[in-house]
Amino acid sequence: MQVDWAHFTPASALGGGALIGLAATLLLLRDGRILGAAGIFAGLAQPKTGDFAWRLAFVGGLMVSPALAALLWGVTAPQIAASPNLLIVGGFLVGLGARLGNGCTSGHGVCGLARLSKRSLAASLTFMATGVATVFVFRHLLG
């Protein structure tokens, strides 16, 4: 394994991680909610009374954030290299898997690990493993 020191950004990674932790803390202590992006988004499709506005507000804040990040730190839009077909297949699998597994990178990976959930640890190790395997197959075996 060769660490890519040129692209490794420990300071902004730790700072960004702290902001994500702060966001989870705010949602937890003010609203009693677990910050899981997939679950919050999924709930928009099947709104229950009184359960829609906060989800929309969260996703709204998330969508406004790139503009503010551009102002604060000059963050620019990333290049999305994936083809439309790959985006559709990947998006479908992410949505399907997040619902079947009850969580995504933020729900299981950040909040679940923070509450020392064995379920979330199992899920996080599993999606890390298949993510690594997928990139290996597509970059080094097929690519």
Partner 1 sequence: MKVFSPFLSGLLFGLGLCLAGMTDPRKVQAFLDLAGPWDPSLALVMGAASAAAFIAFRFAGRAPFAPAPALLKQIDGRLYAGAAIFGIGWGLVGFCPGPALANLGFLDVRAAVFVLAMASGMRAANVLLAHFEPAQVPRVKISEIPATPARLAEDS
Please list every residue from 12 through 51 that binds partner 1, using CB under 8 A. 12-43, 45-46, 50
Shortest distance, position 72 Cβ to partner 1, whole Å = 8
Show the CA angle centred on residue 134, arms to residues 114 and 110, nearest 5°.
10
Whose CA is closest to 59, among 44, 69, 45, 71? 44
Do 23 and 91 form a contact (C-beta atoms < 8 A)?
Answer: no
Q: Which of residues 80-109 bind partner 1 (CB under 8 A)?
A: 80-82, 84, 86-109
- Identify residues 57-76 at the interface with partner 1 (CB under 8 A): 57-69, 72-73, 75
* Site size toward partner 1, by CB under 8 A: 122
First to last CA, the chain: 19
4 makes contact with partner 1 (CB under 8 A): yes
* Other CB atoms within 10 Å distance of the CB of residue 7: 6
Q: What is the rounded CA–CA span in Å between residue 87 and residue 82?
A: 6
Least distance between partner 1 and beta carbon 85 (Å): 10
Cβ 34 to partner 1 shortest distance, Å: 5
CB of 10 to partner 1, least distance (A): 6
